[in-house]
Every structure is written in C-alpha cells, then in structure tokens.
Amino acid sequence: MIDAQHQSEERYCKLSLAYNTDIEGEKVLTAIKDSVKLCRMEPNIYKSDLTNNKKAIILEYHDDINREAGAVFDTILGHLNITRC
C-alpha cells in the first residue's frame, strides 16, 4: 500500500509517497517520471528510508508562483489510484 502526504504553503509544495515493496517503488517512480513533464519547473526529488521497512520518495517544488505542481501531484495520485492524501 502506498501512502501519500501533501504539504504546501505560499509558493512551496511537497508530496511524500511511502511504500513497502520494490514493486510499489517502481510504480511510484514511473508515475513521477510520467507526470513531472506537465510542469515547466523541475522538482527536487529525495529518497528516504523510514521505519518498519518502508521507504519514501519526496517531491518538492520551490517558487511555484503559478501553482503548476498541483497538476503534477494530481496526475501522480491518479496514476497510483490514491484517492486520499
């Protein structure tokens, strides 16, 4: 199961996607690769090891004046069939 968490304020936004298995990780990476093309800005992308054998991929957009990242995040969540964040 992939868990998503979204945070934003003014011109900054972040989407964290936590997963358990390598298959889920590949799905997350594919969704990101297909979705970041929708925005002219490049996100900062980080990977992290969490507790209980979970891993996370975090996308951050800085200075997103036109709020373009929202479309990217919506597309990623849709691609992963995540309805609640």
Q: For 27-49, what is each residue's pLDDT tens digit?
A: 999 999 999 988 888 999 999 99
75 three-class SS: helix
How far apart are alpha carbons 50 and 45 in whole angstroms? 16
Residue 52 has pLDDT above 90, yes or no: no
**pLDDT over 90, % of the chain:** 69
Say what the pTM is: 0.90
Q: Where are the domains of the chain?
A: 3-79
Average of per-residue pLDDT across 9-20 = 94
Is 68's pLDDT higher than 80? yes
Per the DSSP assignment, residues forming a β-bridge with 55 are 19, 49
CATH code, 3-79: 3.30.1360
4 contacts 24 by C-beta, under 8 angstroms: no
Is 50 strand, coil or helix?
Answer: coil
CA-CA distance, 61 to 43, in Å (whole number)? 5
Are the CB atoms for 73 and 13 separated by under 8 Å?
yes
